[in-house]
Amino acid sequence: MLYFLIGYMGSGKTSLAKRVSKRSGLPWIDTDKEIEKQEGRTVAEIFIEKGEKHFRNLESQFIQSLDASDSLIVATGGGLPCFNNNIELINELGKTFYLQLSAAKLTERLLESSSERPLLANKTAKEIKDFIEQSLNEREPHYLRSHHVLNANIPFDRLTEEVVKLF
Ligand code: S3P
């Protein structure tokens, strides 16, 4: 079974994947890291050199290459479920878990790490806040199609246990 952790940038998908992997013994991957390995450059470089649309196509190709019979935890890039009908595909490939957080909470977290993220780089704090509010509104209908919606604003250990219970 494939287990997909989805949600906005900064919702903790990668950290949770690592923790759930330890707890369950299943291996984990991160789609951004896999695409970076495959392309030999960072996500930020792909955005700059080839554009967002190209990156979205790489994300779709990547999930199409997954084997549904593998046992694997997959932390996806924040935008992956929201383009090219990818949410439908990952819902078919395995179980999906949405780590839900409010725009305010995400803004708080992302203000600290915006420079590593191409969609937030070179924006002021106010622009980041507005961008998160608007794009979360657009994205949430896709995220909400996942099999499980989890409140991610709880202690990390509890969130880990909740996910493992649902495996
Ligand atoms: C993106 C999220 C990033 C990465 C890229 C675009 C997005 O992943 O895929 O920068 O559109 O939300 P994280 O959610 O792991 O930061």
pLDDT, one tens digit per residue, over 85-124 is 999 999 999 999 999 999 999 999 999 887 789 999 989 9
Question: Which pLDDT does position 81 carry in this prediction?
Answer: 98
The per-residue pLDDT for 116 is 82
- Confirm if 4 and 97 have CB atoms less than 8 A apart: yes
Cα 92 to middle of ligand 1, angstroms: 22
Contact predicate 113/43, CB 8 Å: no
Q: Which pLDDT value is given to residue 112? A: 86
The whole-angstrom separation of Cα 31 and Cα 84 is 16
pLDDT at 19: 98
Q: What is the DSSP letter of 70?
A: S
Cβ(7) – ligand 1 distance below 6 Å:
no
Our answer on whether the CB atom of 33 is closer than 6 Å to any ligand 1 atom is no
Cβ–ligand 1 distance for 118 under 6 Å, the answer yes
Instruction: Name which of 150, 164, 119 is nearest 28 in CA terms.
Output: 164
pLDDT at 38: 98
Per-residue tens of pLDDT for the chain, all 167 residues? 999 999 999 999 999 999 999 999 999 999 999 999 999 999 999 999 999 999 999 999 999 999 999 999 999 999 999 999 999 999 999 999 999 999 999 999 999 887 789 999 989 999 999 999 999 999 999 999 999 999 999 999 999 999 999 99
Helix (H, G, I), strand (E, B) or coil at 73: strand
Please tell me the pTM assigned to this model. 0.97
How high is the pLDDT of residue 126? 96
Nearest CA to ligand 1 atom 5: 77
